[in-house]
Structure 1
């Protein structure tokens, strides 16, 4: 019986030759060992001793019957060698979860987090500084005075209340999802995203307020609380008579705030915060990708935050604190800031991976398969160039690189 120490290429060739007696096997083994004597000197003596023991056995027994189990075992070894992996990789999967988790321990992670925190604090301080600056004093023509003579009304949504809810609402929503998923990486990414949305929103809103200087709808009664208009006399200077130069008698802080109508800060903050919630919830529920299409409840839950922001924006026109153009442009700024901030930490809400936080420090390591070494490839073709075939599913034969 032919032992396992016989070369695998010889046993495979015997499969195609049918039955071979022990004398023929002896000659083929001797010729094969003669080619391999330089690389494996000890293998020759072992093969000779086993060959002599085999000559005493029955000479009529075929090689294909005696070595069927050995050939199968050799083919399994070849199959494993076919899929040998790179020694540097830990898994054959394209996406290694361990690498993504370990990437969070990047050496620059703490420095990057510190820079992000400092940047957010800087933006908040800049916002409060801009709020105290004087707005541009825009000229008011007599034919447009009616736009600014609406009565003064109290805020339907006070600034303090809005500031509280634009911070607490996204925090509670992300905390709720964390309670269900226990995904710290998602909670961390969401916290970075909604705080960035609010901080990015304050700068363009405040800058436009003080540079545009558009009067609010109730500016006249901010300037003249008693309703009696007082104008400065500039007839000697040749001013246009249609331009009204108000000599305001009201409180200076309220007069300055009355020139900050465009854009609406309430609208921009509401859409930045609740817009982020809409993106976040919609992505988690897959309301905007292929998996959630056709499920109306997913879409309804996702747009509820947008409806809340819309009601806040409309309320600013009802209390005569903003024009409709102000709330429209403010809402656009808020939606843009919320979406840009969301995309910094999450993929597109329309993609298949919606709702999964991005890896901040992606690993550069690649999982690759190794080809067989040249020496191993050469051993697969012996004495006539017969190509080795691999057993695959459904008894199909394919070449080595399937």
Structure 2
């Protein structure tokens, strides 16, 4: 095997594929990358990482002088590639178990093994493919994934749910205490087919962290697996089984209080309030109250002291006095672009909803909590 490629391209390919590997695993194949060189009309290097569930494959254009395949340590190769600074890099085998990496005046000799030992990866050869706008989908994932549950016992909520009825396309994250929803609607230019699937959080985190170069992504579904694919990258994963909650049914339809607030001002105030909370006591809640229909007060007390700040708002309906997890509020506010937003409250125990003043492109739901004393 011998190929030459640009440093930028191989760095991109190795970085993406390595996201699927595990640094230390009882299974040695989860720690390595499979590198395959193909010649012919489409000379390329294919790099694959795999960790039992998630698999990532990248395609890098290259000048292939001889074909072949090897497996090498993902961590070691990533560290080497990160330190190179010449624009062209050469890879070739000196022996069956020794790969040479040359860049400028530098040369690495690293141990490798034959690619024949690498397990086959299921990339779902199926005609059932959904074509989606890539930037929009990645943006929806990033703005909802933080609400997915991190507890493995709540398997159904450990990822994001994708749903389309042909008119609207939703991505939803829920952890039992909050919900994040991002929505797009079908238009004459962009049609969303009917679909419904639940993708693990780890898969989506890696997917959202990859630097893609294309505007469209194909999604293949078969049985309990899913593959996200562009011409240069494929990400495969199992799906989360089981029925997802009817998330629209938990959105309050008759709030008792509506409040218009400046998102940046509220976010900055709550971030300041977190300075009073010790690192070892993140269970303290922030109290938000409205003494009148133009003032929102935020209070928090801890063993360090107290915090109090007020901002201007516009309240209609009942005045409120509620407690929330301040980090949950910050997560939701950071995921919103609009400066003026609405918060809809439903009594002392009902869900609170953050939503836009116009349209239905997003929604964030939070449950009020009991006061936790310092």
TM range (shorter): under 0.3
Higher helix fraction: Structure 1 or Structure 2?
A: 1
Higher strand fraction: Structure 1 or Structure 2?
A: 2
TM-score between the two structures when normalised by the length of structure 1: 0.19
Larger-gyration structure (1/2): 1
TM-score between the two structures when normalised by the length of structure 2: 0.19
